Amino acid sequence: MKPAKIVRAFYNDDDVLLSAVKTIKENKYHIEEVYTPFHVHGLDKVLGLKPTRIAIASFIYGCIGFAVSILMMNYTMIADWPQNIGGKPSFSYIENMPAFVPIMFELTVFFAAHLMVITFYLRSKMWPFKTAENPDPRTTDDHFLIEISVSEVTGKLKNILKNSGAVEINIIDSKEH
Amino acid sequence: MYKISNGIKIFSFTLILLGSIGWGYSYMDSHKTIEQVKEMLMHESSHGSSHADQSEHMEQINEDHHNDLNESSHDDEHAEHVMHQIHNRPYAALYIAAFFFMMISLGVLAFYAIQYASQSGWSPVLFRVMQAITYYLLPGALIVLAIAFFADKHLFIWMDPDVVAHDKLLQGKAGWLNKSAFLIRGLIFIGGWSLYRYFSRKFSLAQDLANDNKNFKRNFQISAGFLVFYIYTESMMSWDWVMSVDPHWFSTLFGWYVFASMVVSGITTIALMTIYLKSKGYMKFVNDSHLHDLAKYMFGFSVFWAYLWFSQFMLIWYANIPEEVTYFVTRIEDYTIPFFTMFALNFIFPFLVLMNSDYKRIPWFIVMAGMIILVGHYMDVYTMIMPATVGDRWDFGLPEISALALFTGLFIILVFYSLSKAPLLAKGNPFIKESENFHY
């Protein structure tokens, strides 16, 4: 059965939010999503989210950048148009390697950083001209929002939310959402 | 309170004893006469080792150049040169080990001062470990200075008046590189560092019993002042105590390069000691996150070291000016294995091993990476000192191992002695609660 109602509880402090998430979890309610204006330390652990794998992706991208830089410079500086580097016309990649290290470093960082950001956007389903998903613009300013989906709103849930420090509670039919 | 165990006492005194005996023996053994050296060289060339081939080849070139010189006088010259290198080796071995442990202590002192000056909240639980390690600084640095004077021209060629008399460059540098200035500078460095260490420890102990934060504030002020003093004196110390073994050569970022080495080995030592104490049931207040932060610093400063090492190398390699590039030519040609191994141990290994965030929380992983880093930085100091003093006559044998044992023993006994003098938690520090609850 699909949950019929969505409860949105607003908070205005990140520490209050963290403890609220804990109490809601303890009372076995299902938290759909939490919207915050900034990264809240430890929220992923409390919500029980799986650890991110973006670090592994970043390492792989770095390795790709490293390899690309070597191939690129070997082609441009050694193979296609042999260059006399620093007065040492050895025309060998390995003997000129110290001169290439800064570029190897830069391209490693460039690939790792850019591809990681792109991966992050794709994984978060974000792209240009996409309409915002956050249900209330205040979550981009000074409010934190917990979204809970339930089949029907009970007084118990409202009490839990109030006691956990919610400053505002809205109830919405999940159809209109 | 930490009580120094008998095991540690026996271990370190044994190391000191064995180290002194081993070094004393190799010192006596190094007093070869010119006849013995000639015999040895003859022996080597008859065996046709690669070294002998090389030197024969060199000799041929030299003979072509100086065909007016007769052969025997040239052989004498070469034998005398080799004899000096053999004489230098025990001094150099002792100096490297002494400098290495002094460097750890000084690095920790700088790191400790940064913690105070930045009023950082994560680290106060580690302060007593840092203070214990810096206890070694005063004796350690005095020993380095004493060895420098004891070794005299065996390490620092500019201390030999005969050499200076025939060397225009050294005459030009004599205003800075002369024995009395060297001594005065050395004493100023050591005096300044030790005064800071003395007062900082005193204020830290007083803060434990105080009701207000006056001692902490004083510690903050002297730490900020010390850091200014430190960055100047550390740089000059590295010119004096390390760079001047090659008195013709100079590098403007040498001070930073030695600083990076110093601070990364220092932080590694803090991590190793903390893990050791934790495994013995002390320092329960240190958690995973503290280790994680220490390991992050180990990782970060290893990369920083590599950056400085490479910056120095690349500029000199690129410009290819003979008087500069000779420094690396000697190291790459005569010290191929230690030179490149050192780079792998100090950069590639820590970079790959400590990259993963989860591994930075596993004690045995940090210990393993830390050992690699310490070995690597010992080799770094080795390749700074040895080429200038023993040339291609290097080895890793009795003199090096026993000097290392001697100073390891001395370092351990002094550090643990100091550790047993005060509670392991600096409980009066205003940030101590934040530090105990630190989590990432």
Residue of B262 and B53 predicted with greater confidence: B262
Instruction: Say if B52 falls within a structural domain.
Output: no
CB contact (8 A) between residue A88 and residue B320 = yes
Instruction: Say if B58 falls within a structural domain.
Output: no
What is the reported pLDDT for B354? 92
CB contact (8 A) between residue B314 and residue A59 = no
Q: Give this prediction's pTM.
A: 0.88
Instruction: Say if B292 falls within a structural domain.
Output: yes
Instruction: Say if B49 falls within a structural domain.
Output: no
- Give B314's contacts in chain A (Cβ within 8 Å): 98-99, 101-102
Asked if pLDDT for residue B403 goes beyond 60, the answer is: yes
Nearest by CB to B357, from A55, A87, A101: name it: A55
* Pairing relationship of beta strands A144-150 and A168-173 according to DSSP bridges: unpaired
Q: How many residues belong to chain A? A: 177
Mean pLDDT to the nearest integer, B225-230: 96
Instruction: Say if B250 falls within a structural domain.
Output: yes
Mean pLDDT to the nearest integer, B370-383: 95
User: At a CB cut-off of 8 Å and minimum separation 6, what does B439 contact?
Assistant: B287, B289
Residue B377 near residue B404, CB atoms below 8 Å:
no
Instruction: Say if B373 falls within a structural domain.
Output: yes
| pLDDT tens per residue across span B305-322 | 999 999 999 999 999 899
The token pair at B125 is: 């639980």
Cβ neighbours of A117 (radius 10 Å): 12
Q: How far apart are CA B274 and CA B295, in angstroms?
A: 12
Q: How far apart are CA B232 and CA B236, in angstroms?
A: 6
Share of chain B above pLDDT 90, in %: 75
Task: Give Rg (Cα) of chain A.
Answer: 26
The lowest-confidence range among B7-21, B51-65, B351-365 is B51-65
Asked if pLDDT for residue A89 goes beyond 80, the answer is: yes
Asked if pLDDT for residue B76 goes beyond 60, the answer is: yes
A137–B contact, CB cutoff 8 A: no
Largest Cα span, chain B: 84
Band of the pLDDT at B71, cuts 50, 70, 90? low
What is the reported pLDDT for A87? 85
Asked if pLDDT for residue B344 goes beyond 80, the answer is: yes
- Give A55's contacts in chain B (Cβ within 8 Å): 356-357
Mean pLDDT to the nearest integer, A22-31: 89
Mean pLDDT to the nearest integer, A37-47: 88
Asked if pLDDT for residue A28 goes beyond 60, the answer is: yes
Mean pLDDT (chain B, rounded): 90
- CA distance to partner chain B, nearest, from residue A44 (Å): 12
Asked if pLDDT for residue A9 goes beyond 60, the answer is: yes
| pLDDT tens per residue across span B245-303 | 999 999 999 999 999 999 999 999 999 999 999 999 998 999 999 999 999 999 999 99
Which of B122, B307, B310, B321 to substitute to test the interface with A, most A CBs within 10 Å? B310
| pLDDT tens per residue across span A99-158 | 999 999 999 999 999 999 999 999 888 888 888 888 888 889 999 999 988 888 788 888
User: At a CB cut-off of 8 Å and minimum separation 6, what does B146 contact?
Assistant: none
What is the reported pLDDT for A1? 52
Residue type, A16: V
- Give A101's contacts in chain B (Cβ within 8 Å): 310, 314
Torsion angle (degrees, nearest 10) of CA B42, B43, B45, B47:
160
Instruction: Say if B42 falls within a structural domain.
Output: no
CB contact (8 A) between residue B320 and residue A99 = no
Residue B89 near residue B30, CB atoms below 8 Å:
yes
Host domain of residue B204: 6-31+70-436
Instruction: Say if B404 falls within a structural domain.
Output: yes
Which of B315, B318, B351, B438 to substitute to test the interface with A, most A CBs within 10 Å? B318
CB contact (8 A) between residue B313 and residue A98 = yes
For residue A129, give the DSSP letter: T
Chain A CA closest to residue B352? A59
Share of chain A above pLDDT 90, in %: 42
Band of the pLDDT at B47, cuts 50, 70, 90? low
| pLDDT tens per residue across span B12-22 | 999 999 999 99
Band of the pLDDT at B119, cuts 50, 70, 90? very high
- Give B319's contacts in chain A (Cβ within 8 Å): 86
CB contact (8 A) between residue A86 and residue B318 = yes
Chain B CA closest to residue A41? B440
Band of the pLDDT at B229, cuts 50, 70, 90? very high
Total domains in the fold of chain B:
1
Residue B113: strand, helix, or coil: helix
What DSSP element (H or E) covers B292? helix B288-319
Residue B406 near residue B16, CB atoms below 8 Å:
yes
Mean pLDDT to the nearest integer, B225-251: 94
Residue B300 near residue B373, CB atoms below 8 Å:
no
Prediction ipTM score: 0.80
